[in-house]
C-alpha cells in the first residue's frame, strides 16, 4: 500500500489567491481588515446565506458605521434593521456586544479566542473567525463548510456533531504560518463553490488528488448527520385590527424566545391542539370579527405554523390594550416586523 502525500494548505492558498470571492465584508488584497465589519458579518452569516446577508450588511454599515454608532442606537432601531433576517437573538446579542466593546473595551475588539468567547453572541466558530480573519492570528473557524471539507478530505465517517473534534484537529493540522485569515476564508470559499453539499466539483478541486473521500467514492455522502426530527404543525389565531384612521394594533413580543423582542400582531398561543372554535376568547378586544379565507403558512426551524387571520375595525377612540400600541398605517413598515408578521399583514390587506 503506497500512501499519498499528506494534504497541506499551499494548494488551497494558491487556489484562493486566484479564485477568492469578492464580498462586501471581505478586505481586498492589501487592505487591512476592519474587526467591526468582520464581527458584524460573521454574526449575520450564522446559519444564513451570503445572498441573504448582503443587503443587511450594507444597511447596517451605512446606518451604524462603527461599533459606537451601533452601541448608541436604540434597540428598537437595531431590531427593525434586523427584521427579516431571522434568529433574532443574534440582533439582541449583537447590540449587547457592541455596548460592551464600545464602553468596556474603548471600541477595540479582543484579538484572541478566549476573550472573544466571553462576549454575547460569539461562540467557538465566531471567535475563531474573528481571531483569524480580523487579526490574522492562528485560529481555525470550524463552520459547516469546514466540517464538510475536512470530513471529505480525510474521509471522517463518524456522524456530526460528534466528529467535530476530529474536524477541528484536522483543520488545525493544516493551518499555515502567517496566513490564518486567508486559510479560514479559503476553506469557506472552497466549501461554498467546489466542495458543495451536493454534486461537488471534485475535478477542479485543488485537493482532488489527496482527497480520501473522493478516492473512496464517498465524498458526496459526507459529512454524516443524525437523522432529522419531524416538524410538527402548530395552529393559532391572529388578529389584525385596523382603527378607523388606518392605524394598526401592534405589540412587542417578550425579549426572549421565539421572535423575541420583535413586533407582532396580537395572537393566540400557537399549539398543535389549538381549538380554533374558541379563537374569539383570545382576541385582544371585543369587536365584530371577520375571519379571512385561507391561512398564513410559515415554516420555522422546528415547527410549521398555520395562522387563521381575523380582521376587525376599531373606533377612533379605542384604547390600545395593555402592552399594545396603535401604529399609523404609513409607519407600519418601520416596525420590527418579522417575516411571518409581514406575511400576515399582506394577507389581511389583500382581503380588507
Partner DNA sequence: AAATCGTGGGA
Partner DNA sequence: TTCCCAAGATT
Choose the binding region for DNA from 63-71, 80-88, 243-251, 325-333 (rule: CB under 7 A): 80-88
Residue 166 binds DNA, judged by CB under 7 A: no
Q: Smallest gap, in angstroms, from Cβ of residue 223 to DNA?
A: 9
Residues 186-245 that bind DNA (CB under 7 A): 188, 191-192, 197-198, 225, 228-229
Residue 298 binds DNA, judged by CB under 7 A: yes
Residues 323-352, one symbol each (x = binds DNA by CB under 7 A, - = not), give ---------------xxx------------
* Identity of the residue, 22 or 316, whose beta carbon is nearer to DNA in the bound complex: 22
Q: Quick check: is 113 catalytic?
A: no
Q: Which of 33, 260, 312, 321 binds DNA (CB under 7 A)?
A: 260
| Structural contact between residues 160 and 225, judged by C-beta atoms closer than 8 angstroms | yes
Q: Which of 25, 39, 64, 154 binds DNA (CB under 7 A)?
A: 25
| Structural contact between residues 345 and 332, judged by C-beta atoms closer than 8 angstroms | yes
Residue 59 binds DNA, judged by CB under 7 A: no
Which residues form the catalytic set? 42
Please report, as ranges, the residues that interact with DNA according to CB under 7 A. Answer: 23, 25-26, 41-42, 45-52, 84-89, 93, 120-127, 129, 143-145, 148, 185, 188, 191-192, 197-198, 225, 228-229, 257-260, 298-302, 338-340
Amino acid at each position: 500500500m503506497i500512501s499519498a502525500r499528506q494534504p497541506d494548505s499551499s494548494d488551497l492558498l494558491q487556489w484562493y489567491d486566484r479564485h477568492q470571492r469578492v464580498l462586501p465584508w471581505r478586505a481586498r488584497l492589501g487592505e487591512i481588515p476592519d474587526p467591526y465589519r468582520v464581527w458584524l458579518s460573521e454574526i449575520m452569516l450564522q446559519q444564513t446565506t451570503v445572498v441573504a446577508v448582503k443587503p443587511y450588511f450594507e444597511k447596517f454599515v451605512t446606518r451604524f458605521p462603527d461599533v459606537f454608532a451601533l452601541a448608541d442606537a436604540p434597540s428598537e432601531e437595531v431590531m427593525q434593521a434586523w427584521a427579516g433576517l431571522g434568529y433574532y437573538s443574534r440582533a439582541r446579542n449583537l447590540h449587547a456586544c457592541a455596548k460592551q466593546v464600545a464602553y468596556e473595551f474603548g471600541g477595540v475588539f479582543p484579538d484572541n479566542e478566549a476573550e472573544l468567547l466571553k462576549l454575547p453572541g460569539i461562540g467557538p466558530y465566531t471567535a475563531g473567525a474573528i481571531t483569524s480573519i480580523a487579526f490574522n492570528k492562528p485560529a481555525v473557524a470550524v463552520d459547516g463548510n469546514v466540517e464538510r471539507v475536512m470530513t471529505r478530505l480525510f474521509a471522517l465517517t463518524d456522524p456530526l456533531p460528534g466528529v467535530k473534534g476530529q474536524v477541528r484537529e484536522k483543520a488545525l493540522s493544516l493551518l499555515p504560518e502567517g496566513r490564518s485569515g486567508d486559510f479560514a476564508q479559503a476553506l469557506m470559499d472552497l466549501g461554498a463553490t467546489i466542495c458543495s453539499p451536493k454534486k461537488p466539483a471534485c475535478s477542479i478541486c485543488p485537493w482532488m488528488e489527496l482527497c480520501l473521500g473522493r478516492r473512496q467514492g464517498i465524498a458526496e455522502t459526507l459529512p454524516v448527520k443524525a437523522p432529522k426530527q419531524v416538524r410538527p404543525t402548530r395552529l393559532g389565531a391572529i388578529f389584525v385590527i385596523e382603527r378607523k384612521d388606518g392605524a394598526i394594533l401592534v405589540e412587542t413580543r417578550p425579549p426572549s424566545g421565539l421572535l423575541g423582542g420583535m413586533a407582532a400582531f396580537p395572537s393566540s398561543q400557537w399549539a398543535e391542539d389549538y381549538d380554533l372554535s374558541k379563537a374569539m376568547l383570545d382576541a385582544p378586544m371585543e369587536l365584530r370579527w371577520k375571519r379571512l379565507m385561507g391561512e398564513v403558512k410559515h415554516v420555522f426551524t422546528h415547527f410549521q405554523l398555520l395562522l387563521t387571520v381575523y380582521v376587525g375595525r376599531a373606533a377612533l377612540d379605542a384604547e390600545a390594550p395593555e402592552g399594545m400600541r396603535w401604529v399609523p398605517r404609513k409607519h407600519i413598515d418601520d416596525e420590527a416586523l418579522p417575516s411571518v408578521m409581514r406575511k400576515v399583514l399582506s394577507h389581511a390587506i389583500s382581503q380588507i
